[in-house]
Amino acid sequence: MEIEGNFNTVEYRSGALRLIDQRRLPAEESYVECRSAGEVAEAIRAMTVRGAPAIGVAAAYGMAMAVGRSAHLGPEAQIAVLDEAAAVLSGARPTAVNLFWAIRRMREAAEASEFAGEKLAEELLELAHEIHRDDIATCRLIGDHGAALLSPETSLLTHCNAGGLATAGYGTAGGVIRSGFREGKVSRVFVDETRPFLQGARLTAWELSRDGIPVVLITDNMAAYCMRLGKIGAVVVGADRIAANGDVANKVGTYGLAVLAREHKIPFYVAAPMSTIDMDTPSGDEIPIEERPPEEVRRIGDTLIAPEKVEVFNPAFDVTPAGLVDALITERGLVRLAEGESVGSLYP
């Protein structure tokens, strides 16, 4: 499947899901192959693959492989295997709603299908391919809608990684950056290192450099000063879940950037596909926030940087209130949340 960029985040071939191992970047570009839903779930849990849209695509392939491996069973047994795969994948990470969206879409397709055995396996694999293709097309639209918001030669700030590595290949916030750079709207990108997992330093700086987009890496606690110095023209980030009222769950540190952007009168944009919006969750208060292992904070790689037994609080995400988001950028267009526009306006 042809994608934008010069690496494949997610690729299905010869009965296996091939994932770029994001834990090893930027030092080593290596790939992991998954041949079962359980292996896909472990790759999601271990952050071999990460980013809400990429997780959703990977989960769809995990479901398809589960059905393929059970094609010799009867229809009822095949659906039971699919349900087991759904349960395993659902437990991998709790915050990214795209995971549950993809699982539900695959499950509903299986229920509605008139086929079983090999035919059902083929049908669900084609649906996984469709979800994959749709993500790339969706991110291109998000990128183009977002670029239209930018003035020429804007210097952007982004947090974590919401580029090609977090999606099927183009990016959400990264898509805005790519489209904006192509149109002369983006001059350079400041990237927060994004402690403790360093997705900004390891991943975003790597992929932007490979795309030839000027990038400046900063530590997380430098953002406010960069804003004060006038180095930042706008902030654009991705999202892992957006509640019905527009509250945004994204990588921890996003909320602080939104507060800083408001103080410095800098536009703050969130780029995400419609599949990231969870209309069943009324507000950010109801979004489950994953807590990661304490060793991610106590160590950088294998190096201990804090007392070995010190207590650690390590939420993977925080929640930014809708009123701090100048615009939500989706494939269907914009919602100016800070001006009181409703997420519901995106739905016919």
Among 256, 44, 17, CA closest to 160: 256
pLDDT of residue 115: 86
- Predicted confidence band of residue 326 (pLDDT cuts 50, 70, 90): very high
Q: Cα separation of 208 and 176, whole Å?
A: 12
pLDDT of residue 6: 67
Q: What number is the average pLDDT over the span 143-165?
A: 97
Q: Cα separation of 221 and 233, whole Å?
A: 18
Q: What number is the average pLDDT over the span 104-117?
A: 92
pLDDT of residue 2: 38
pLDDT of residue 301: 87
Residue 177 predicted with pLDDT over 80: yes
pLDDT of residue 1: 37
DSSP H/E element including 83: helix 75-90
Residue 231 predicted with pLDDT over 50: yes
Q: What number is the average pLDDT over the span 41-62?
A: 96
Supply 339's token pair: 């001006």
Q: Cα separation of 63 and 103, whole Å?
A: 7
Strand pairing report for 299-300 and 303-304: antiparallel
Residue 61 predicted with pLDDT over 50: yes
Each residue's pLDDT tens digit, 7-19: 889 999 989 999 9
Strand pairing report for 234-237 and 154-158: parallel
Q: What number is the average pLDDT over the span 140-155?
A: 97
Residues known to be catalytic: 240
Q: What number is the average pLDDT over the span 90-104?
A: 93
pLDDT of residue 71: 80
What's the pTM value of the predicted model, to 2 decimals? Answer: 0.93
- Predicted confidence band of residue 268 (pLDDT cuts 50, 70, 90): very high
Residue 277 predicted with pLDDT over 60: yes
The alpha-helical segments, DSSP class H, found in 113-213 are: 117-147, 173-182, 199, 205-210
Q: Mean pLDDT over all residues of the chain? A: 95
Q: Yes or no: say if 23 and 47 are a contact pair by the CB < 8 Å rule.
A: yes
Interaxial angle between packed helices 37-45 and 52-69, expressed in degrees from 0 to 180 and rounded to the nearest 10: 160
Q: What number is the average pLDDT over the span 233-238?
A: 98
Residues whose CB is less than 8 angstroms from the CB of residue 329 and which lie 6 or more positions away in sequence, other chains included: 142, 145, 146, 149, 172, 176, 236, 269, 270, 271, 272
CB under 8 A, 24+ apart: contacts of 218-224: 218/190, 218/191, 218/192, 218/193, 219/192, 219/193, 220/192, 220/193, 220/194, 220/195, 220/253, 223/157, 223/190, 223/192, 223/256, 223/257, 223/260, 224/260, 224/264
Residue 5 predicted with pLDDT over 80: no
Output 71 or 226, whichever has higher pLDDT: 226
Each residue's pLDDT tens digit, 113-140: 988 889 999 999 999 999 999 999 999 9
CA 19 remoteness from chain centre: 15
Residue 109 predicted with pLDDT over 70: yes
- Predicted confidence band of residue 3 (pLDDT cuts 50, 70, 90): very low
